[in-house]
Amino acid sequence: MGEAVEAKYPPLDVITIGRASVDLYGQQIGSRLEDITSFAKSVGGCPANISVGTARLGLRSALLTRVGDEQMGRFIREQLRREGVSVEALKTDKERLTALVLLSVEDEGVSPMIFYRSDCADMALAEEDIDEAFIASARAVVVTGTHFSRPNSDAAQRKAIRLMKAKGGKVVFDIDYRPNLWGLAGHAEGFERYVKSDRVSAQLKTVLPDCDLIVGTEEEIMIASGADDCLSALKTIRTLSAATIVLKRGAKGCIVYDGPISDDLEDGVVGEGFPIEIYNVLGAGDAFMSGFLRGWLGGESFATAATWANACGAFAVSRLLCAPEYPTFEELQFFLKHGSKHLALRKDEAINHIHWATTRRRDIFQLDAVLAS
């Protein structure tokens, strides 16, 4: 791959590929979706969230997908720009609508959700959307599970993988398993985490050999391998891939495996979780991935990357929305140095001030220009 190809775009650390939606979060906490009367709007979807999360942590990130040619698509584009995420590869689909998701926090760890994704813009992603020079501008690409569920988006992600490997970059796989997005659960089962499927496992197993980093929960590790328990799943993945494997364990933290898988599940780099009140689990995995990528791509140890990942996940579960609630690097470092007396980080005034101060728009209001007009 020549220098002219690589110089076409500004350099990036990471490109994320796949879902980009508008999340509508019910604001009546503890209520069923049936009873919600008002919603808060934010950018959502695994790769969109990761693009924002990594940008807030100081990485040069981009989102590669499609949005609709309407107000919600423009909302996503404008919000990403405000966050410093490159939208060079964010395509506008003039025929399809931007995806929507309705969500509520009904109880601790229970968040019903409805995906409005019938023929949505991001699932129309195709090979022609993958520009060789754009992929060449990045150090890593993140592919995500849902976009292997359709032939066109599957082909698009595999093209990105081939191009990234050809230039010697890193391929990251966020398994991101949502059974009903594979047609395995009903519309009301958006929160369903695991449905065994030989079809899905067979599809995802073909992705594993090309990966440098594979990240998933116990259920996601099982679906990617086809095995019926976590240890067997890890061993199966290791037979197919030399990638670093990160097992997300929620409040228990994570384990990083960078070599052979022994019979002891704990035989890896164990990243301890943080004692945080669980307020909303949705989006926590994307915050986790953002923190891990900040460490991993920055050359930090697995232990440091795991700590940053778990801390970012803790911020996410302690707040309502997804991407808007993720920490900046300054916020993360303050928390790791000083901790918090609150199990609910959203109640910590010092942390909230840093969050507010470090996520403001950089546009400076010119009062003199207004007065002169």
DSSP 11-50: -EEEEEES--EEEEEESSTT--GGG---EEEEEESHHHHH
Instruction: Report if residue 211 sits inside a domain.
Output: yes
Range(s) of the domain holding residue 173: 3-272+282-294
- Residue 217 pLDDT grade (very low, low, confident, very high; cuts 50, 70, 90): very high
Summarize pLDDT for 52-69 with one digit per residue, the tens. 999 999 999 999 999 999
The alpha helices in the chain, defined as continuous H runs, are 3-6, 46-56, 71-82, 132-136, 151-166, 198-205, 218-225, 230-240, 284-297, 302-317, 329-338, 349-358, 367-372
Instruction: Report if residue 301 sits inside a domain.
Output: no
Instruction: Report if residue 351 sits inside a domain.
Output: no
pTM: 0.93
Instruction: Report the pLDDT value the prediction gives residue 3, as an integer from 0 to 100.
Output: 47
* 238, pLDDT greater than 90: yes
| Range of lowest pLDDT (105-109, 304-308, 309-313) | 105-109
Residue closest to 327 by CA, chosen among 352, 307, 361: 352
Q: What b/e sequence results for 200-225 when a residue is b if at least 16 CB atoms lie within 10 Å of its CB, and e otherwise?
A: bbebbbebbebbbbbbbbbbbbbbbb
Instruction: Report if residue 244 sits inside a domain.
Output: yes
Which amino acid is residue 249, in one-letter code?
A: R
Task: Please compute the mean of the pLDDT values over residues 327-349 and round it to a whole number.
Answer: 93
Task: Please compute the mean of the pLDDT values over residues 10-37 and round it to a whole number.
Answer: 96
Instruction: Report if residue 242 sits inside a domain.
Output: yes
Q: What b/e sequence results for 7-44 when a residue is b if at least 16 CB atoms lie within 10 Å of its CB, and e otherwise?
A: eebeebbbbbbbbbbbbbbbeeeeeebeebeeeeebbb
| Range of lowest pLDDT (4-18, 152-166, 353-367) | 353-367
Summarize pLDDT for 83-141 with one digit per residue, the tens. 999 999 999 999 999 999 999 998 877 889 999 999 999 999 999 999 999 999 999 99
**CATH number for 96:** 3.40.1190.20
Instruction: Report if residue 55 sits inside a domain.
Output: yes
Instruction: Report if residue 346 sits inside a domain.
Output: no
If one counts the domains in the chain, the total is 1
CB neighbour list of residue 186: distance below 8 Å, 6 or more residues apart: 180
Instruction: Report if residue 110 sits inside a domain.
Output: yes
- Looking at the chain, the whole-number percentage of residues with pLDDT higher than 70 is 95
